[in-house]
């Protein structure tokens, strides 16, 4: 399986967004793609397919903006701020 990041999205941005989404999946959020994969791969597929997106832009304090991922389908599930 090859996962292509969306056009215009840098590798670091893709990685961070996928990591945040994988954390949500580990906490029990419903996956938005079908497949029997690990949470990290599911998260990458969701970002690649545009099923999750960045809600806020990161500022100088990235810990203040851990709630970056907003699912486009079903329930809104955000990562708790530290």
Q: What is the mean pLDDT of each run of 10 residues along the chain (82 residues)?
A: 89 92 92 93 94 69 48 40 38
Task: Determine the pLDDT at residue 51.
Answer: 92
Domain span including residue 52: 11-71
Residue 51 lies in a domain: yes
The answer to whether 66 and 56 have CB atoms below 8 angstroms apart is no
Task: For residue 54, give the nearest of 40, 72, 31, 73 by alpha carbon.
Answer: 72
Residue 78 lies in a domain: no
Residue 32 lies in a domain: yes
Residue 29 lies in a domain: yes
Residue 5 lies in a domain: no
Pairing of strands 69-71, 52-54: antiparallel
How many domains are contained in the chain?
1
Task: Determine the pLDDT at residue 76.
Answer: 40
Task: Determine the pLDDT at residue 78.
Answer: 43
Task: Determine the pLDDT at residue 54.
Answer: 78
């Amino acid at each position: 399986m090859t996962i292509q990041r969306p056009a215009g999205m840098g590798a670091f941005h893709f990685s961070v967004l996928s990591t945040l989404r994988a954390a949500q999946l580990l906490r029990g959020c419903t996956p938005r793609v079908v497949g029997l994969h690990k949470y990290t791969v599911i998260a990458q597929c969701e970002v690649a397919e545009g099923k999750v997106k960045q809600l806020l832009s990161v500022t100088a304090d990235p810990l203040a903006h851990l709630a970056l991922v907003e699912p486009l389908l079903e329930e809104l599930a955000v990562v708790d701020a530290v």
